[in-house]
């Protein structure tokens, strides 16, 4: 994927760019608002990582608003030291697709950026999610693997649905909490892990190949090996 990183802190920008390149993406970077806007508007990117506080007269919010006003729908992930809920809301209202605060774990950033691109691509509403021999029918709310029906509680269904929609991408615990439970903070206990392990009992254990993998220091990923 082509990713644009607009960040004025050289170290952070370098860190992010390097990490993204190592993950196999093509990265362009700008260190101020004006250049960032120019690049974003003139070239085609799959995603933009945008810092809120930028020098050069145009800050992150203005940049995004201008972009959206031009009809540019490139997914944007905000990266900001401003952590208050109001700032988050402002960022999302300006047209942002996701919002992360500094300091951040790179794995989380990577997972979310990749999730963004996936989000952008799907246009038609899907009725079925399929990975390998796992099938989820969204209309009848049923799950089958290798032809066998799997009984899931409603919450387990939603958890599996989230993993399926982000199949092949890293899904962090925070993303799961937000996406499945609408819960916006870090619990101290490992509540998510327990839910995922129960899901695995139902979805993976009776079958030869596991689909739900744990990604160390990051989260989970659903993929066919």
Partner 1 sequence: MKPAAADRPGAAAQLWHRLACRTRQDLRLARHPGMLLRSAGVRFGLIYAGLFCLSALVLAGFLWWSTAGLLDRQTDAAINADAQGLLEHYQDGPVALVETIQDRLAANIDDDAIYLLADPLGRLIAGNLETWPSVITPDVEWIEIPIDRAGVRGLARLRHFVLPDGYQLLVGRDVQARARLRHILGDALLWAPAIVVVFGIVGAMAVRSLFRITINDVAATAAAFSRGDLTRRVRVSGMGDEFDRLAKEINEMLDRIAALMDGVRQVSNAIAHDLRTPITRARARLEDAARSARDEADLRAAIDRAQSDLDGIVAVFQALLRIAEIEAGSRRSAFARVDLGPLLFDLVELYTAAAEENGQGLVHDIPPILPAFGDHDMLQQAVANLLDNALKFSPPGGTIRLAAAIVGQTLEITVADQGPGIPPADRARATERFFRGEAARNTPGSGLGLALVQAVAALHGGTLRLDDNHPGLAAVISLPALTASNAPLPPA
Which helix (DSSP H) or strand (DSSP E) does residue 156 occupy? Answer: helix 154-165
* Residues ≥6 apart with Cβ < 8 Å to 93: none
Return the residue of 14, 55, 187, 206 that touches partner 1, per CB under 8 A: 187
Helix, strand, coil percent values for the chain (each to nearest 5): 40, 20, 35
CB of 218 to partner 1, least distance (A): 13
Q: Return the exposure string of 113-126: e unless at least 16 CB atoms fall within 10 Å of the residue's CB, then b.
A: bbbbbeeeeeeeee
Q: Return the exposure string of 5-36: e unless at least 16 CB atoms fall within 10 Å of the residue's CB, then b.
A: bbbbeeebbeebbeebeebebebbbbbbbeeb
Return the residue of 26, 41, 81, 83 that touches partner 1, per CB under 8 A: 83
CB of 180 to partner 1, least distance (A): 9
Asked if 218 is part of the footprint of partner 1 (rule: CB under 8 A), the reply reads no
Sole window of 18-26, 134-142, 165-173, 187-195 interacting with partner 1 (rule: CB under 8 A): 187-195
Please tell me the distance from the alpha carbon of residue 225 to that of residue 142, in angstroms, as a whole number: 23
CB closer to partner 1, 102 vs 213: 102
Asked if 85 is part of the footprint of partner 1 (rule: CB under 8 A), the reply reads yes
CB of 105 to partner 1, least distance (A): 8
Return the residue of 62, 144, 195, 200 that touches partner 1, per CB under 8 A: 195
CB of 93 to partner 1, least distance (A): 14
Asked if 15 is part of the footprint of partner 1 (rule: CB under 8 A), the reply reads no
* Contact code string over 102-141 relative to partner 1, x by CB under 8 A: -x-x------------------------------------
Please tell me the distance from the alpha carbon of residue 76 to that of residue 51, in angstroms, as a whole number: 10
* Contact code string over 167-186 relative to partner 1, x by CB under 8 A: --------------xxxxxx
CB of 103 to partner 1, least distance (A): 6
DSSP string, 43-86: S--SEEEEESS-SSS--HHHHHHHHHHTT----EEEEES--SHH
Please tell me the distance from the alpha carbon of residue 86 to that of residue 91, in angstroms, as a whole number: 9
Interface positions with partner 1 (CB under 8 A):
83-85, 103, 105, 155, 181-191, 194-195, 198, 217
């Amino acid at each position: 994927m082509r990713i644009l990183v607009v960040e004025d802190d050289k170290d952070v920008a370098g860190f992010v760019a390097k990490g993204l390149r190592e993950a196999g993406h093509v990265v362009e970077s700008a260190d101020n608002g004006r250049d960032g806007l120019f690049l974003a508007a003139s070239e085609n990117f799959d995603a933009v990582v945008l810092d809120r506080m930028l020098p050069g007269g145009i800050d992150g919010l203005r940049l995004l608003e201008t972009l959206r006003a031009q009809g540019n729908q490139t997914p944007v992930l905000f990266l900001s030291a401003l952590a208050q809920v109001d700032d988050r809301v402002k960022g999302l209202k300006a047209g942002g697709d996701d919002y992360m605060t500094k300091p951040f774990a790179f794995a989380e950033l990577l997972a979310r950026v990749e999730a963004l691109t996936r989000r952008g691509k799907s246009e038609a509403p899907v009725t079925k999610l399929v990975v390998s021999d796992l099938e989820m029918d969204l209309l009848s709310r049923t799950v089958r693997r290798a032809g066998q029906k799997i009984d899931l509680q409603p919450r387990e269904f939603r958890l599996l649905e989230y993993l399926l929609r982000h199949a092949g991408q890293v899904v962090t615990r925070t993303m799961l909490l937000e996406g499945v439970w609408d819960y916006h903070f870090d619990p101290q206990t490992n509540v998510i892990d327990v839910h995922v392990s129960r899901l695995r009992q139902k979805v993976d254990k009776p079958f030869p190949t596991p689909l739900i993998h744990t990604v160390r220091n990051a989260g989970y990923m659903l993929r066919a090996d």
